[in-house]
Amino acid sequence: MSLWRKLTQLIAGRPDPFDLEVPDYGPGHRVDNAEFAMALIALGAKIAKADGVVTTDEVAAFRQVFRAPAEGEEAIARLFNLAKETTLGFEGYALRLARRFRAHPAVLEDVLDGLFHIAKADGAVTVSELEYLETVAGIFGFSEREFRRIRLGHIGLPEDDPWLILGVDPDIDDAGLKRAYRRIAAQNHPDALVARGAPLEMQRLADEKMAMINAAYAQIRARRRAESPQGD
């Protein structure tokens, strides 16, 4: 069954399709891709302007992440409207997600990746949007350094920092660097993203992230070779 048909079925006849009062996903439990999409829609709606209606730009921003076909537009628009009309603030909804996916931090990072793409769909991430994203990241349990790493992958920092991208310190030895690279590459490989429940439509985000990780590793190795011709 396609993601979009599942979304349509999930919201059919349900007054609150965003009700997540169900058992948490434990370790090894595959996340349902339709519910993952709903998580992005809900928080994506909260990052949009609270103008009471869903604009074509807002729907287009989400489609940049999921590339929804025509059959999915109605479901997305309805879910956006429902999410914006609910009295539950984004902090409360983010906390629900944090509790539900606490055994799956990679899923929570996938959600943040999607939100960054929605935020920058109009060409820029505003200060208020960045504050929103940082707040969500904190609720999800990401440290300040981890949020900087995620942010770097989407909008960059004043100075390029390949060490931050890999989540390591500059003085790490070559063996530790290789282990760190392999670990983060395995976590962010497109196949891993799909395996943990993210829809296939999210693969473009994973491809972009893997390219950034590979480039950071190559940059560090090139620097070390230049500094030490005898290095690995």
User: Which residue type does 125 have?
Assistant: V
Above 70 in pLDDT, residue 157?
no
What is d(CA 175, CA 172) in angstroms, rounded to the nearest whole number?
Answer: 8
- pLDDT tens for 180-199 read 999 988 888 878 877 776 66
What is d(CA 17, CA 42) in angstroms, rounded to the nearest whole number?
Answer: 10
The distance from CA 190 to its chain's CA centroid, rounded to whole angstroms, is 13
- pLDDT tens for 203-221 read 777 788 888 889 889 999 9
Above 50 in pLDDT, residue 50?
no
Q: Where are the domains of the chain?
A: 3-11+30-227
- Average pLDDT of the chain is 76
Q: Whole-structure pTM over 0.75, yes or no?
A: no
Mean pLDDT of 166-186: 91
> Which among 5, 41, 1, 3 has a CA at the least distance from the CA of 20?
41
